[in-house]
């Protein structure tokens, strides 16, 4: 196989210099891409090009968990990733894991993760003094449930991939929770309740991104472990008043010093929250207490040419006009009775003042009549008979040129 040149970008950080660190480029001849691991790549560069480069490794067979790093945008073990696993078009990019302080180049301080292991009581505490080792068959349901979780090599890949680790400082993280899960699911464990209580609050920080499940080089799913702890706690966590008391006395005093980032984050959340609350609240408030129908603005609507309205008759005209209320616009059809019985033009509403039925003019009797309850009005609109309490309502009108306009 012919050798190919690959560009290798390695993140460099020198603790003596400090600063932000950055990538340095190396070019490497790759003889056999499918037989060359990232660890080989680093060793080649270290021996042949740059002896100052720092990285961690030990077993070379994915058992020690020392060589976890971000390779081309994904957490992997350097000893388990071959050059051929990466697209030939991409540079090889080696970078330290996320969420761990960088000591030098690719070497990170794993303490934050191991501190979380301690907080979630990730150590085995036998139930009783046993003289014989407990036997759990490989095909026992309990063993099946735990599955691969005992294979964790604490490489930190899952912690690096989980964005929630960065956003929630109290979050135990996927590695510690996967370990806690393996112990919680173990019937020999003597700290069931304590472990459950210690692990549960952290489980709520999981947002089911499943990044940890994707990157685990041992095929473990911390996501599944976290869900298991939550389900178990739902059924089996004992919450006793005594525990609550202990918790109260042991709680650290409230801290009032807030750093800038926390403050800005808090303020941001408050502003967004307030904006959403005000928007939704005002809409809700207006709908609840505001008038259901705002007083429609009056407008002059044209009825048509006066010449078209016959003299000595009452003509009912259907007005079509656009009514606007705030941002709504609506086409409204409204009938108007135009009386030209005398020289004076009178515009009546068709609604009966009694209960709103439609009033019409009867030519034969020369009266306005309401069909509902027999309300009768004379030609000037005054009540003659029936229940209507007042004369027919009128619209104001005016004449512009040859047009008749009505104020609706």
Partner 1 sequence: MSVTEDEAKPIQYRKHLRWGEHDPNRRANTPLGMWAWLWQRVSALLIVVLLVLHISLPYKLAIQFLLLLTVTFHATLGLRVILLDFNLVSIRHHRTLAWALPVVGLIAIFIVWRCIY
By CB under 8 A, name the binding residues for partner 1: 9, 11, 13, 15-16, 18-23, 54, 70, 72-74, 90-91, 93, 95-104, 107-109, 112, 161, 163, 166, 207-211, 213-215, 221, 223-224, 227-228, 230-231, 276, 279-280, 283, 287, 327
Q: What is the helix (H) or strand (E) element at residue 194, kind and residue range? A: helix 192-203
**Is the CB of 163 or the CB of 342 nearer to partner 1?**
163
**Is the CB of 67 or the CB of 408 nearer to partner 1?**
67
Q: What is the helix (H) or strand (E) element at residue 33, kind and residue range? A: none
122 within 8 A of 62, measured Cβ to Cβ:
no
Q: In sequence order, which residues have a C-beta less than 8 Å from that of residue 377 and are 6 or more positions away?
A: 359, 367, 368, 369, 383, 384, 388, 391, 392
Q: How far apart are CA 163 and CA 207, in angstroms?
A: 9
- Minimal distance in Å, beta carbon 162 to partner 1? 9
**Is the CB of 122 or the CB of 213 nearer to partner 1?**
213
- Minimal distance in Å, beta carbon 8 to partner 1? 13
Helices 111-119 + 173-184 axis angle, to 10: 30
Q: What are phi and psi of 307, to 5 degrees?
A: -60, -25
**Is the CB of 216 or the CB of 383 nearer to partner 1?**
216
**Is the CB of 108 or the CB of 370 nearer to partner 1?**
108
- Minimal distance in Å, beta carbon 60 to partner 1? 20
Q: How far apart are CA 75 and CA 86, in angstroms?
A: 13
Q: How far is CA 128 from CA 111, 125, 238, 369, in A?
A: 31, 9, 21, 100
- Minimal distance in Å, beta carbon 326 to partner 1? 9
User: Can you read off the two tokens belonging to residue 203?
Assistant: 């489980």
**Is the CB of 311 or the CB of 330 nearer to partner 1?**
330
195 within 8 A of 189, measured Cβ to Cβ:
yes
**Is the CB of 28 or the CB of 220 nearer to partner 1?**
220
- Minimal distance in Å, beta carbon 323 to partner 1? 16
- Minimal distance in Å, beta carbon 91 to partner 1? 8
Neighbours of 155 (CB within 10 A): 27
- Minimal distance in Å, beta carbon 49 to partner 1? 19
Burial class (CB in 10 A: 0-12, 13-18, 19+), 266: exposed
């Amino acid at each position: 196989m012919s050798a190919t040149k690959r560009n290798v970008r390695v993140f460099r950080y020198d603790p003596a210099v400090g600063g932000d660190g950055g990538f340095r480029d190396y070019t490497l001849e790759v003889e056999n891409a499918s037989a060359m691991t990232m660890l080989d790549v680093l060793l080649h560069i270290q021996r042949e090009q740059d002896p100052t480069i720092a990285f961690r490794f030990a077993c070379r067979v994915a058992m020690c968990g020392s060589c976890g790093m971000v390779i081309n945008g994904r957490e992997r073990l350097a000893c388990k990733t071959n050059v051929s696993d990466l697209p030939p078009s991409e540079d090889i990019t080696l970078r330290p894991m996320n969420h761990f302080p960088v000591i030098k180049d690719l070497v990170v301080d794993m303490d934050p993760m191991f501190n979380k292991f301690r907080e979630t009581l990730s150590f085995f505490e036998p139930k009783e003094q046993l003289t014989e080792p407990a036997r759990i068959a490989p095909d026992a349901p309990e063993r099946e449930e735990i599955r691969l979780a005992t294979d964790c090599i604490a490489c930190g890949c899952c912690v690096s991939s989980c964005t929630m680790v960065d956003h929630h400082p109290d979050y135990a993280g996927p590695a510690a929770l996967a370990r806690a899960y393996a112990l919680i699911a173990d019937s020999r464990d003597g700290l069931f309740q304590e472990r459950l209580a210690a692990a549960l609050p952290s489980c709520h920080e999981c947002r089911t991104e499943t990044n940890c499940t994707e990157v685990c080089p041992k095929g473990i799913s911390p996501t599944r472990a976290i869900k298991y702890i939550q389900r178990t706690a739902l059924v089996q966590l004992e919450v006793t008043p005594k525990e609550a008391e202990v918790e109260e006395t042991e709680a650290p005093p409230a801290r009032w010093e807030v750093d800038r980032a926390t403050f800005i984050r808090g303020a941001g959340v408050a502003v967004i929250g307030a904006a959403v609350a005000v928007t939704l609240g005002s809409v809700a408030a207006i709908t609840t207490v505001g008038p259901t129908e705002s007083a429609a603005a009056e407008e002059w609507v044209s009825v048509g040419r006066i010449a078209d309205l016959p003299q000595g008759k009452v003509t009912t005209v259907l007005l079509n006009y656009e009514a606007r209320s705030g941002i709504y616009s609506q086409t409204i059809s409204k009938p108007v009775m135009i009386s030209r019985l005398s020289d004076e033009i009178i515009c009546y509403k068709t609604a009966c003042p009694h209960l709103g039925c439609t009033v019409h003019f009867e030519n034969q009797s020369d009266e306005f009549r309401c069909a509902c309850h027999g309300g009768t009005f004379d030609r000037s609109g005054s009540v003659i008979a029936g229940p209507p309490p007042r004369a027919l309502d009128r619209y104001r009108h005016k004449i512009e040129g040859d047009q008749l306009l009505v104020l609706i």
